[in-house]
A and B are shown apart, each in its own frame.
Chain A
């Protein structure tokens, strides 16, 4: 015997399956609209968290930045994320002084102001390659047989993204362009040869073309000037440039401890008024996110609105079938289905559409966060963790399914109220 107890749930499940199949097109359209809404909701919350983490977690490899007096945010955006203009330069002596400071583990100077095909050209020292670590204390490495530039030569190394975008490879020669925005008329005469392509780090340094600080100073248009007279100081090849004529845009710092940062912060930012210390970098960026939190709230509001519209789409999709289904409900009732079974079947159908849409929403989410990650990577060099978990990934499908069940109550009530006797005869 294949006889078995059949609960009302088994009847409801069959009714839902058959209804979805009978109204396949409208169900599919509604499921897709729910998927878009669910995907958008999950993406808004997840991208917000991932972006926040990527810019504030300190995975950029530096603890603090020393620069000209001004905005800490501008200093960080310019020197760490290579996004903003420089707030100005500080004397080379400031770099030497902070380098000698016992609270500082290491200090690396940056000189910015040039680009190559829109990618930043940054002058620094060989020490950058030796000292800099990112992520889990990983050191920089070169593709193939590449090596770090030598400071006395016209050599350069290129970040992975910059190399990919500009076409620079090992052995390429190139001339930099003045300014942070690419202008082909502003080409410098000094030629550099690429001695290495850095392996990807997932940090903003991937978007940078690195040249020796000395090379930067000796480039046409960057010659040191006498501070009093403004006259260009003549620099002869092989002769060192006096430190008093040199300037740096920023000094990137790795500190010995958190206490070192606090004490430097007091010294530079509160007691002094010549330089600015951006510390900790994560907090500076967190302040930025705090300031633009309203933008996230607008995005969240729009996402909630889209979810409500998707709920309304479910309601309209099912409600529109109610008239044609009155006879079906009457037949179900005549076969012995209780009102509660018919009511539950419609609520379950609505919730099922929302649940299926939410499942499909994971695909939409995957696409959206991948696109967002590639944009952030291209614009800021920062890598978003697209596989990271956010509560929205769990709560959105639950919330959308509950919303589906909620809006299903309206057509379900209509089904519940269907009069059996008057609807058992054909309407056409």
Chain B
């Protein structure tokens, strides 16, 4: 299947307090098929957020390529990356990052405005789809944590993105709500033909995916695992895709 996302020799370093460059990301290869759903296991400090920021075009790599539907984000200007992010990438943050001064509906409509097309009926339909038809005009502080997360999911899908990035999307939810939320995210991504790249450290979440990777094996900048983490049968230490 043709790759929607194709990463090659991706490197990113940050300046450490002692003045030296510290490599955070060194990913030789990673691919994600269009409409595919992949989970990455990423512990704290494994560079998962940095990797997602690179894929989203928020950060620019030091070297390597990030091809999104044939466009190399590494070669794009910041403005072009902003445009690509607005139109083709949805992002679900662990802390949701909803805009507090805006209603649920306005959070989605603002994302649509950045994408260049305002579709109010779609915005309402998305909120309806995530079960918030009666909360459209509520502000984030008036919503429960679970409801805020659903707004974040709807907002990520606002511009019919080709790729949805989810960074510990269920990290702030209890087990039952996390399962429900994950199911919702996967369903709405499928319904919208959007590929999903989800990062989590929650084994239960990871095991619900057919395809999962361990970021510490994927990212050579971090020390590889020295034991088998996956009791469900994931091949330990393998930098390659793990299929259950």
Question: Which A residues contact B (CB, under 8 angstroms)?
Answer: 1-6, 8, 10-11, 14-15, 18-19, 21-22, 327-328, 330-341, 420-421, 424-426
Chain B residues contacting A341 (CB-CB under 8 Å) are 114
Given A3-B118, A5-B116, A338-B79, the answer on whether A19 and B99 have CB atoms closer than 8 Å is no
The 6 A-B pairs of least Cβ separation, nearest first, read A336-B86, A11-B113, A6-B118, A336-B114, A3-B119, A22-B101
Chain A residues contacting B119 (CB-CB under 8 Å) are 1-4
Is B106 a contact partner of A14 (Cβ separation < 8 A)? yes
CA distance in complex: A115, B157 (Å): 85
Chain A residues contacting B78 (CB-CB under 8 Å) are 339
Chain A residues contacting B87 (CB-CB under 8 Å) are 336
Contact of B114 among A11, A339, A420 (CB under 8 A): A11
Interface check B130, CB cutoff 8 A: no
Interface check B42, CB cutoff 8 A: no
Is B58 a contact partner of A420 (Cβ separation < 8 A)? yes
Is B110 a contact partner of A11 (Cβ separation < 8 A)? yes
Is A335 a contact partner of B95 (Cβ separation < 8 A)? no
Is A334 a contact partner of B95 (Cβ separation < 8 A)? no
User: Closest chain A residue to B158 by CB distance?
Assistant: A335
Interface check B209, CB cutoff 8 A: no
Chain A residues contacting B117 (CB-CB under 8 Å) are 3-6
Given A14-B106, A336-B111, the answer on whether A421 and B82 have CB atoms closer than 8 Å is no
CA distance in complex: A333, B58 (Å): 8
Interface check B30, CB cutoff 8 A: no
Chain A residues contacting B122 (CB-CB under 8 Å) are 3
Is A424 a contact partner of B106 (Cβ separation < 8 A)? no
Chain B residues contacting A10 (CB-CB under 8 Å) are 113, 118
Is A425 a contact partner of B101 (Cβ separation < 8 A)? no
Is B113 a contact partner of A6 (Cβ separation < 8 A)? yes
Interface check B151, CB cutoff 8 A: no
CA distance in complex: A302, B118 (Å): 48
Contact of A336 among B50, B85, B118, B121 (CB under 8 A): B85
CB distance from B66 to the nearest CB of A (A): 15
CA distance in complex: A6, B109 (Å): 10
CA distance in complex: A328, B110 (Å): 13
Given A18-B101, A331-B97, A421-B53, the answer on whether A336 and B82 have CB atoms closer than 8 Å is yes
Is A424 a contact partner of B118 (Cβ separation < 8 A)? no
CA distance in complex: A11, B158 (Å): 15
Contact of B82 among A6, A14, A19, A338 (CB under 8 A): A338
- What are the interface flags for B58-88 relative to A under an 8 Å C-beta threshold, 1 for contact and 0 otherwise? 1100000000000000000011001101110
Is A335 a contact partner of B106 (Cβ separation < 8 A)? no
Interface check B137, CB cutoff 8 A: no
CA distance in complex: A21, B139 (Å): 13
Contact of B121 among A1, A332, A424 (CB under 8 A): A1
CA distance in complex: A327, B93 (Å): 13
Q: List 23 A-B contacts (CB under 8 A).
A: A1-B119, A3-B122, A5-B116, A10-B118, A14-B109, A18-B102, A22-B100, A328-B100, A330-B97, A331-B97, A332-B114, A333-B58, A334-B56, A334-B91, A336-B83, A336-B114, A338-B79, A338-B82, A339-B79, A340-B79, A421-B50, A421-B53, A426-B95
Is A336 a contact partner of B58 (Cβ separation < 8 A)? no
Within 8 A of A (CB), among B17-63: 50, 53, 56, 58-59
Within 8 A of A (CB), among B144-182: 155, 159
Interface check B10, CB cutoff 8 A: no
Is A6 a contact partner of B112 (Cβ separation < 8 A)? yes
CA distance in complex: A337, B102 (Å): 16
Is B86 a contact partner of A335 (Cβ separation < 8 A)? yes
CA distance in complex: A19, B99 (Å): 11
CA distance in complex: A336, B78 (Å): 10
Contact of A335 among B59, B114, B120 (CB under 8 A): B114
CA distance in complex: A235, B149 (Å): 106
Chain A CB within 10 Å — which of B95, B102, B114, B120 has the most? B114
User: Closest chain B residue to A339 by CB distance?
Assistant: B78
CA distance in complex: A327, B101 (Å): 12
CA distance in complex: A240, B93 (Å): 106
Given A328-B99, A336-B86, A339-B78, the answer on whether A18 and B106 have CB atoms closer than 8 Å is yes
Is A4 a contact partner of B118 (Cβ separation < 8 A)? yes
Interface check B239, CB cutoff 8 A: no
Given A14-B106, A337-B82, A421-B59, the answer on whether A6 and B116 have CB atoms closer than 8 Å is yes
Chain A residues contacting B82 (CB-CB under 8 Å) are 333, 336-339
Chain A residues contacting B111 (CB-CB under 8 Å) are 335-336
CA distance in complex: A21, B121 (Å): 25
Chain B CB within 10 Å — which of A19, A328, A334 has the most? A334
CA distance in complex: A337, B115 (Å): 9
Beyond known contacts A335-B85, A336-B159, A421-B53: 7 more, CB 8 A cutoff: A19-B101, A328-B99, A334-B58, A334-B85, A336-B115, A338-B79, A339-B78
Is A424 a contact partner of B97 (Cβ separation < 8 A)? yes
CB distance from A348 to the nearest CB of B (A): 14
Is A334 a contact partner of B97 (Cβ separation < 8 A)? yes
CA distance in complex: A8, B110 (Å): 10
CB distance from A323 to the nearest CB of B (A): 15
CB distance from B28 to the nearest CB of A (A): 23
User: Closest chain A residue to B167 by CB distance?
Assistant: A424
Chain B residues contacting A3 (CB-CB under 8 Å) are 117-119, 121-122
Is B53 a contact partner of A14 (Cβ separation < 8 A)? no
CA distance in complex: A6, B102 (Å): 18
CB distance from B238 to the nearest CB of A (A): 29
Chain B residues contacting A18 (CB-CB under 8 Å) are 99, 101-102, 106
CB distance from B181 to the nearest CB of A (A): 19
User: Closest chain A residue to B95 by CB distance?
Assistant: A426
CB distance from B47 to the nearest CB of A (A): 12
Chain B residues contacting A5 (CB-CB under 8 Å) are 116-118
CB distance from B61 to the nearest CB of A (A): 13
Is B56 a contact partner of A14 (Cβ separation < 8 A)? no
